[in-house]
Amino acid sequence: MFIRLSNEITRDSIVDGPGLRAVIWTQGCKHNCKGCHNPSTHDFNGGFLMNLHEIEETLKSLKLQKGITFSGGEPFEQPLACIEIAKMAKQLRLDIWCYTGYIFEKLIDEEDTEYKEGWKEFLEYIDVLIDGPFMIEKKNLLLRFRGSENQRIIDVKKSLKNNKVVLKEEYYPVKEARSEYVAVKLVV
Ligand code: SF4
């Protein structure tokens, strides 16, 4: 099996999830977000094809990586190949993050007219999903691991279990806690 990639696998990324991460850059995306940082990844015939055996060898050679991150492009346009890569990653005890321009609710809706075979299964391998299109009017450079405020950092296992989105709260700024801290400082 092959996957279409836009770039070689990147190692040691510290911006695509926690710890050192290997990033799988998928090619092909139809979301067309205004202000997309990587328009060369949109063409479904662009990039290059890579055999999954080669990817497996690369994953096996990784050192000190906490996990892999699927980015793009749109990983959910190639769910069957991504599932195979995700299986390899799990066997190597790597955690899995994934960026998508789709929203979680759409990816689990098997009645959706755009539903693609494998979406749900691919999700089952993912630990954390950053969902939703990049929205330039909601761009915020202070956000951790995401580009715009509409995007959510989702605990996929808990969300699938509860059938509703559960956020990874630890990656969000804790406004309430911060204001409590200020209140305590003022009292002291
Ligand atoms: S989903 Fe990502 S790659 Fe696709 S258009 Fe939006 S920002 Fe660009």
Q: 37-58: per-residue pLDDT in tens?
A: 999 999 999 999 999 999 999 9
pLDDT band of residue 173 (cuts 50, 70, 90) is confident
Q: Residue 46 has what pLDDT?
A: 98
Determine the distance separating the centroid of ligand 1 and the alpha carbon of 103, expressed in angstroms. Answer: 13
Determine the distance separating the centroid of ligand 1 and the alpha carbon of 41, expressed in angstroms. Answer: 8
Total structural domains within the chain: 1
Q: Which atom of ligand 1 is nearest to the CA of 134?
A: 7
Q: What is the CATH number of the domain that holds 148?
A: 3.20.20.70
Residue 107 has pLDDT above 60, yes or no: yes
Pocket lining for ligand 1, CB < 6 angstroms: 29, 31-33, 36, 38, 41, 72-74, 101, 133-134
Q: Which atom of ligand 1 is nearest to the CA of 100?
A: 1
Domain that holds residue 60: 2-187
Residue 155 has pLDDT above 90, yes or no: yes
Strands (E) in the chain, as ranges, are 2-5, 10-13, 21-25, 48-51, 67-71, 95-99, 128-131, 152-155
Phi, psi for 13 (deg, rounded to 5): -70, 140
Average pLDDT over residues 138-160: 96
Average pLDDT over residues 71-87: 98
pLDDT band of residue 182 (cuts 50, 70, 90) is very low
